[in-house]
Amino acid sequence: MTIHVSVPDNVHQNAIDILQGAAGIRVTAPGLMERADLLEAIVDADAIIIRSGVKADAELIAAAPRLKAIARAGVGVDNVDLAAATANGIVVMNTPGGNTISTAEHTFGLMIALSRHIARGHQSLLEGRWERKALGGVELKGKTLGLIGLGRIGQAIALRAQAFEMRVIAHDPYLPPAVAAEIDVPLLSLPEVYARADYLSLHALATEETRGMINADAIAAMKDGVRIINASRGALIVSGDLAAALQSGKVAGAALDVYEQEPPPADHPLIGLPNVLHTPHLAASTADAQVTVAVEAAELIVDYLLNGVAANVCNPGTQSKS
């Protein structure tokens, strides 16, 4: 029986080409589908490659009894039920480095666009207004950027912010202090970062520890007029609490690329506020990053299925299916 690899998400064609070029692998690449069609498409799949558009939950895993590997073309695996995968002998792998620069550049773009009202200026001009006074902004130079998470993406942002003459501080309980010292970023406690940051940018995974961390209490501990940027995971922010702080002026502005539910519902408390800038989870969506993560994901799958070699494993210790 041939090995079936299914790609039921929008993954770059280069990944499909790599899979098709591997001996003994049959590839189907239907792209994003309705849930019922998805469950049918993967019924005999040995492996799948996904981005964040597919929820690889217990139901999906049960629908694919032959599944041995899930490759996530991207970083976050919060759309994969790791416990269910492990229990079913499915190795989950990701491509953590491939979209670092794209995500860092998008985050930086959000920070500038928020500070200079670029989206509002564009929109108001299209609507026939010339609002130079109402849309005055602030400089980044001399401001303090607080990074929550100083992993690959946080570090790439720190370097860019330093080039813009910002002071950069960070909170990251997992990073060796020597790494932070090398790029001249002081590692501080969360309350210290909250108290000092003019801009706060989130770069943490959604875990038990981080879900809802930006809530009313955390915001109260922040500087008045702080600006918050989130291109990591929507679940980190309690949307209602941030909306209240944006309305009161405690938080001067927010730029959001990610939402707890994607796409967010029309009645989402942060949608429609004048001081919030939105993008639809675009941080990693560059031609460059999508090629890199897709190729890496395809290579991970080929290596695992044909050679039994697993890399970038997110659920280590999994007893793989024979």
Contact residues for ligand MLT (CB under 6 A)?
A: 51-52, 74-76, 99, 284
Which one, 29 or 252, has the nearer CB to ligand MLT? 29
What are all long-range contacts of 242-250, with beta carbons under 8 Å and residues at least 24 apart?
A: 242/214, 242/269, 242/270, 243/269, 243/270, 243/273, 244/216, 245/216, 245/219, 246/270, 246/273, 246/275, 246/276, 247/273, 249/224, 249/225, 250/219, 250/220, 250/222, 250/224, 250/225, 250/226
Ranked by CB distance to ligand MLT, the top (closest) residue is: 74
Which one, 88 or 99, has the nearer CB to ligand MLT? 99
Q: Tokens standing for 99?
A: 């979209």
Task: For the CB of residue 85, give the shortest distance to ligand MLT in the complex, in Å.
Answer: 17
Task: For the CB of residue 155, give the shortest distance to ligand MLT in the complex, in Å.
Answer: 16
Which one, 140 or 277, has the nearer CB to ligand MLT? 277
Which one, 12 or 223, has the nearer CB to ligand MLT? 12
Single out the residue of 68, 82, 67, 21 nearest to residue 304, CA to CA: 68
Laid out side by side, the sheet with 47-50 consists of 25-28, 3-6, 47-50, 69-72, 91-94
Encode 49-76: b = buried (16+ Cβ within 10 Å), e = exposed: bbbbbbebeeebbeebeebbbbbbbbbb
Please pick, among 120, 160, 281, 296, the residue that the annotation labels catalytic. 281
Please pick, among 117, 171, 233, 268, the residue that the annotation labels catalytic. 233
Task: For the CB of residue 283, give the shortest distance to ligand MLT in the complex, in Å.
Answer: 6
Active site residue 233: yes
What span, in angstroms and rounded, lies between the C-alpha atoms of 121 and 93? 42
Single out the residue of 224, 201, 203 nearest to residue 145, CA to CA: 201
Active site residue 139: no
What span, in angstroms and rounded, lies between the C-alpha atoms of 24 and 20? 9
Task: For the CB of residue 234, give the shortest distance to ligand MLT in the complex, in Å.
Answer: 10
Amino acid at 129: R
Query: Prior bond to 173 cis, omega within 30?
Result: no
Which one, 75 or 193, has the nearer CB to ligand MLT? 75
What span, in angstroms and rounded, lies between the C-alpha atoms of 297 and 152? 18
Q: Are 235 and 206 in contact (CB under 8 A)?
A: yes
Which one, 95 or 318, has the nearer CB to ligand MLT? 95
Which residues are catalytically annotated? 233, 262, 281
